[in-house]
Amino acid sequence: MTIRIAQPADLDAIEALERDIFPDDAWPRDKLDDDLRSPYARFVVTEDDGLVVGYAIGHHLPGNDVADIHNIAVCDSHRGRGLGSALFDDLVAWSTSRGASAIMLEVRADNEPAQALYRSRGFDVIATRPNYYQPAGVDAFVMRWEVPA
């Protein structure tokens, strides 16, 4: 497995994964494309035998002390292999290397594996956003991590 910067040629595979993993609230292709081209985003993919099996997107604006993790996704057949953790750790390293002193994210209240990963890395729930994920009406937990001094 490798992690590398996403390329425009990956967009079809990323969009297919997005729709498969998040069928009710998948990000539209134009949003994924915007993130792919943004100078303020880190958009990485992980591959297995040349096939994209996961991706992650983070944002950090220059001069801002807080970075955001927007999306981490791994296809069902490759879960449980540490790929989500590796993608997550890549975004954290990128964010802190750019000067972020904190990282925030939202996670579905019903996504216990993701919450466990984030908690294991020191993230804490700081708020709940009721009915955030639509159309299912699932709450989001807002989580934050402070870079150790």
Listed by start position, the domains of the chain span 2-146
Please compute the mean of the pLDDT values over residues 34-61 and round it to a whole number.
96
Please compute the mean of the pLDDT values over residues 96-110 and round it to a whole number.
96
The residues facing 68 across adjacent strands are 59, 104
Structural tokens at position 8:
């425009």
Q: Which CATH class for the 2-146 domain? A: alpha beta
Euclidean distance between CA atoms 53 and 50, whole angstroms: 9
Q: What is the mean pLDDT of the chain?
A: 94
Please compute the mean of the pLDDT values over residues 54-80 and round it to a whole number.
94
Euclidean distance between CA atoms 92 and 117, whole angstroms: 13
Give CA angle at 43 (12, 81), nearest 5°.
Answer: 85
Residue 1 banded pLDDT, cuts 50, 70, 90: confident
Please compute the mean of the pLDDT values over residues 34-41 and round it to a whole number.
96
CB–CB of 104/143 below 8 Å? yes
Q: What is the pLDDT of residue 149?
A: 76
Euclidean distance between CA atoms 71 and 61, whole angstroms: 17
Residue 64 banded pLDDT, cuts 50, 70, 90: very high
Euclidean distance between CA atoms 148 and 123, whole angstroms: 12
- What percentage of residues in the chain have a pLDDT greater than 70? 100
Please compute the mean of the pLDDT values over residues 18-30 and round it to a whole number.
90
Q: Torsions phi, psi of 18, nearest 5? A: -55, -45
Q: What is the pLDDT of residue 126?
A: 98
H or E stretch at 19: helix 11-21
Residue in 94, 149, 82, 66 with CA at minimum distance from that of residue 120: 82
